[in-house]
Chains A and B, each alone.
Chain A
Amino acid sequence: DTAVSQTPKYLVTQMGNDKSIKCEQNLGHDTMYWYKQDSKKFLKIMFSYNNKELIINETVPNRFSPKSPDKAHLNLHINSLELGDSAVYFCASSQLPRLNTEAFFGQGTRLTVV
C-alpha cells in the first residue's frame, strides 16, 4: 500500500500543452510538497501546503498552479508547457511543516516536453 502515490509516472507532451500531475498520501499527514529535480539531480522545493493552505510558494512561474482539494491530495497543474519544464517532479508529505519530521516522497513523475 503506497504511502505517497503520484500519477502518471511518465508524461511526454508537446510544448504549449496543459498537463496535470496528481498526488495522494494515505499517511494522514497535514503537510504536502511539490519538488522539482532537474537533470543534475538537484531537488528544489516548489510549493508546500499545510492542511490545504498554501504556506510556501517559491519562485515558480505562474504557469504552475497547485491545487489541494483536501489534505490528502495535492495536484500540480502546468499551463503552456515549455522545454525547460522537463524534469522529474516529486510529491512529498510530512506530519508537520517542521523538518525534524520525516518527509515521505512519491516515486516521481518524469515530465518530458518535446
Chain B
Amino acid sequence: TQLLEQSPQFLSIQEGENLTVYCNSSSVFSSLQWYRQEPGEGPVLLVTVVTGGEVKKLKRLTFQFGDARKDSSLHITAAQPGDTGLYLCAGEGEGAQKLVFGQGTRLTINP
C-alpha cells in the first residue's frame, strides 16, 4: 500500500510569516498533486508535479517534487488569512488508476 504522510498535521501562524508543509512517502510516485480544501467544499487542485526535482510556483506558493519522486513540499511566502485551509497531497496509486491522499495539513493564518 502506498502511503503519503504529511507534516505538520496542524499549523497556526501569523499573517506575513513563511511556512513549509511536507509530503513524504517510502514509495516512488509518477506524479504528485497538491489540493486545497476549504470548509464545506471539495478539494481543488493547486498543482501537479511530474518530474523529479521539479519546482512550480503559483504566486506566493512554491511546490517542489523530490529528486527521487518520493516526497514533495509546499512553501508559502508571506502567508495571508486567505491561505487558511486544508492542504492535501495526492499521488497516483498502484495500478495508476486512483489518487492516494495524505492525511492533510490544516493551516490557519491569523490576522
Chain A-chain B contacts (Cβ-Cβ < 8 Å), number: 69
Q: Which of A11-19, A37-45, A67-75, A78-86 contacts B (4 or more CB under 8 A)?
A: A37-45
Given A40-B103, A41-B104, A107-B41, residue A48 in contact with residue B50 (CB < 8 A) = no
Whether the pair B99, A107 counts as a contact (CB closer than 8 A) is no
Whether the pair B40, A108 counts as a contact (CB closer than 8 A) is yes
Given A92-B42, A100-B48, A106-B42, residue A48 in contact with residue B98 (CB < 8 A) = yes
Query: Size class of A's contact patch?
Result: 20 to 34
Nearest to B101 among chain A residues (CB) is A43
0/1 string, B83-97, CB within 8 A of A gives 1 = 000101011110111
Nearest to A99 among chain B residues (CB) is B92
| 30 A-B pairs with C-beta separation under 8 A | A4-B42, A33-B99, A41-B37, A41-B103, A42-B101, A42-B104, A43-B43, A43-B104, A44-B101, A45-B93, A45-B100, A55-B97, A56-B97, A56-B98, A90-B43, A98-B92, A98-B96, A99-B99, A100-B92, A102-B33, A102-B48, A105-B42, A105-B43, A105-B44, A106-B42, A107-B40, A107-B41, A107-B42, A108-B40, A108-B41
